[in-house]
Amino acid sequence: MPTVEMTVNGKGASAQVEGRTLLVQFLREKLGLTGTHIGCDTSQCGACVVHVDGRAVKSCTMLAVQAAGATVTTIEGLANGETLHPMQEAFRENHGLQCGFCTPGMVMTAIDLVKNNPSPSEEQIRHGLEGNICRCTGYHNIVKAVKAGASAMKG
């Protein structure tokens, strides 16, 4: 079994994996970072979104070995100590989550969205979140949260 090494949330991580091990399995099972979730098996739901080398990636759609040498950020790596990332804070402030299962992927996608478009319109936010399914919130408060998060990230 190959050994993969990468930087996850600022720390070096390495583990032996089968060739077929997905990045999400590596994060959850080898590193115990269970904040990244698996909600489907067709790369549709986005619960597993993490940042790989600064870009949002569905970690169920990438092999762990493909991420060898990469810099990965998961939901666990966003907050600065007790201080939430502005996007996390915006989700909390705007009730942008209910059961919390889609939330990590939603927040990671939202941050990437805002990085590429610092002042997104509502339409752009809705379009940008198309790859993340939430069954609880009806998206209303998620859209509000992303908008607020975008403003906060500028500040």
Least distance (Å) between residue 14 CB and other proteins: 19
Residue among 69 and 122 whose Cβ is closer to other proteins: 122
Under the binding rule (CB under 8 A), the answer on residue 38 touching other proteins is yes
Residue 92: count other Cβ atoms within 10 Å of its Cβ: 12
Least distance (Å) between residue 19 CB and other proteins: 11
Site string for other proteins, 69-108 (x = CB under 8 A): -----xxx-xx----x---x--xxx-x-xxxxxxxx--x-
- Of the candidate residues 1, 10, 19, 20, the single one contacting other proteins (CB under 8 A): 20
Under the binding rule (CB under 8 A), the answer on residue 55 touching other proteins is no
Sheet holding 49-52, edge to edge: 11-16, 3-8, 71-73, 49-52, 55-58
Residue among 69 and 92 whose Cβ is closer to other proteins: 92
Least distance (Å) between residue 133 CB and other proteins: 5
Among the listed ranges 34-42, 51-59, 61-69, 147-155, the one in contact with other proteins (CB under 8 A) is 34-42
SS (H, E, C) the chain: CCEEEEEECCEEEEEECCCCCEHHHHHHHHCCCCCCCCCCCCCCCCCCEEEECCEEEECCCCEHHHHCCCEEECHHHCCECCECCHHHHHHHHCCCCCCCCCHHHHHHHHHHHHHHCCCCCHHHHHHHCCCCCCCCCCCHHHHHHHHHHHHHHHC
Contact set with other proteins (CB under 8 A): 18, 20, 28, 33-42, 44-45, 47, 74-76, 78-79, 84, 88, 91-93, 95, 97-104, 107, 122-123, 125-127, 129-130, 132-143
